[in-house]
Amino acid sequence: MADRIIVTGGAGYIGSHVCVDLLSAGKSLLIIDDFSNSSPEAVRRIQELAEGDIRLLKSDLADPAQRERIIDAARDFRAQGAIHLAGLKAVGESVTEPERYYRVNLGSALTLIDALKATGGKLIVFSSSATVYGDRNKSPVDETGLLGPTNPYGRTKYFIEEMLRDLHVSDPGWKIANLRYFNPVGAHPSGRIGEDPNGVPNNLFPYIAQVAVGRREKLRVFGDDYDTRDGTGVRDFIHVCDLARGHRAALDHLAREKAPGVVDVNLGTGLGYSVLEAVAAFKRASNRDIPYEIAPRREGDIAEIYANPSKAKALLGWTAEKSLDDMCADHWRWQRENPTGYGE
Ligand code: UD1
């Protein structure tokens, strides 16, 4: 069984939804988060949405000075495994500050491995990304697709996957799931937790939501001359609650199987929607105008990527259930009820 789980980055956008899902399933959690891109308020709201046993350690996994403290906390908690979501995630920033991205993302993963070694809980569900596939595959892309991330952020995801593979080679007792997320959007249907980006959002949905709520004037659509249905980029948007459930399915799979080894799994819906289709759906859900202009292509973007999600179904018994309209409705509820996110 794996009932005592560390969740690194548990106060973040995906992490907070993972925590609510795991608590509701009766797991005990130790959240490790430094709140560099998240808020303690998210932890209060996790507790409001789900009862259960939850500990919080405010700590930076990448800081060598905090390493012993983190290991002690994991030991004290008697962790049986971890869901590792902590890390830096802005693509553009990773290009200008690559060494910070490597130090923080790789260093955090290494500290977590040390902490789990100290407890004997040799199980990790890792927050990887479809970004590891880069731009070399035709969609729908499955887990045998060519790997080749195109920026330092993506390479940290790829390198951590490889580190975890090496760990398993060194000791086959380790059980690892690399979850390759497509484009997580939406929010908990309660409207209490959701995505609260620092500064100007990089990603499409938070940007659209801030335009809808009147915080930003208009969306810039990066390119309308791609070889896609309407010329704009096509992505596999997945509801963050479906994604959260996928973590639990992966955790249960690893715990249940005697020797699952290292499994790489796409978490996506298998459906591609264009940027303009996403804008139209958000407009319907919010009943607000979403002004936009066509802007030049964004460097590093690809025309189209969506998942082949069959492995997740076959191996984990998991499929995404929520539609694009659900994603927009829930994302909008969160944005409308929390126009400035979690606030100060
Ligand atoms: C991006 C990252 C990816 C990361 C993921 C995390 C890049 C190149 N890729 O994926 O590595 O794992 O976020 O969520 O940044 N768009 C606009 N206007 C905007 C914002 C986005 O038109 O203001 C378009 C983009 O050009 C793209 C689509 O919307 O076609 C989705 O963009 P985004 O939400 O940033 O996700 P990805 O680029 O797919």
Going residue by residue through the chain, which has 344 residues, state the pLDDT in tens, using 9 for 90 and above.
Answer: 789 999 999 999 999 999 999 999 999 999 999 999 999 999 999 999 999 999 999 999 999 999 999 999 999 999 999 999 999 999 999 999 999 999 999 999 999 999 999 999 999 999 999 999 999 899 999 999 999 999 999 999 999 999 999 999 999 999 999 999 999 999 999 999 999 998 899 999 999 999 999 999 999 999 999 999 999 999 999 999 999 999 999 999 999 999 999 999 999 999 999 999 999 999 999 999 999 999 999 998 999 999 999 999 999 999 999 999 999 999 999 999 999 999 85
Atom of ligand 1 nearest to the CA of 157: 12
Residue nearest to atom 4 of ligand 1 (CA): 131
CB-count burial class (<10 Å; 0-12, 13-18, 19+) for 146? exposed
∠ CA 148-149-152, rounded to 5°: 140
∠ CA 225-228-231, rounded to 5°: 30
Residue nearest to atom 38 of ligand 1 (CA): 301
Atom of ligand 1 nearest to the CA of 222: 22
* Cα distance from N-terminal residue to C-terminal residue, the chain: 39
Residue 294's alpha-carbon distances to 83, 218, 223, 276, in angstroms, are 39, 10, 6, 10
Residues with CB under 6 A from ligand 1: 91, 129, 131, 153-154, 183, 202-204, 207, 219-222, 233, 235, 275, 298, 300-301
Tokens 């930003």 -> residue:
216
Residue nearest to atom 27 of ligand 1 (CA): 233
**Contact (CB, 8 A) for 293 and 224:** no
Q: How far is the CA of 302 from the centre of ligand 1 (A)?
A: 9
Atom of ligand 1 nearest to the CA of 305: 39
Output the six-digit token pair for 326.
């659900």
pLDDT of residue 314: 98
Atom of ligand 1 nearest to the CA of 92: 15
Q: Is residue 250 part of a domain?
A: yes
Q: Under DSSP, is residue 209 helix (H, G, I), strand (E, B) or coil?
A: helix
Q: How far is the CA of 202 from the centre of ligand 1 (A)?
A: 7
Q: How far is the CA of 275 from the centre of ligand 1 (A)?
A: 10
DSSP 229-266: SSSS-EE-EEEHHHHHHHHHHHHHHHHHSS---EEEEE
**Contact (CB, 8 A) for 31 and 7:** yes
Q: Is residue 230 part of a domain?
A: no
Residue nearest to atom 5 of ligand 1 (CA): 183
Q: How far is the CA of 178 from the centre of ligand 1 (A)?
A: 21
Q: Is residue 247 part of a domain?
A: yes
Q: Is residue 24 part of a domain?
A: yes
Residue 176's alpha-carbon distances to 1, 161, 250, in angstroms, are 15, 9, 9
Atom of ligand 1 nearest to the CA of 184: 14
Q: How far is the CA of 301 from the centre of ligand 1 (A)?
A: 7
Q: Is residue 261 part of a domain?
A: yes
Give the pairing type, strands 175-181 and 183-185: unpaired
Q: Is residue 215 part of a domain?
A: no
Q: Is residue 216 part of a domain?
A: no
pLDDT of residue 344: 59
Q: What is the CATH number of the domain that holds 178?
A: 3.40.50.720
Q: Is residue 277 part of a domain?
A: no
Residue 23's alpha-carbon distances to 42, 138, 200, 238, in angstroms, are 14, 38, 32, 21
Task: Give the structural domain span for 180.
Answer: 4-185+238-269+306-318
Q: What are φ and ψ of residue 55, in 5° steps? A: -115, 155
Tell me, what DSSP letter sits at residue 185?
E
Q: How far is the CA of 192 from the centre of ligand 1 (A)?
A: 24
**Contact (CB, 8 A) for 151 and 300:** yes
Residues designated catalytic: 153
Residue nearest to atom 8 of ligand 1 (CA): 301
Output the six-digit token pair for 259.
């020797």
Domain count, the chain: 1
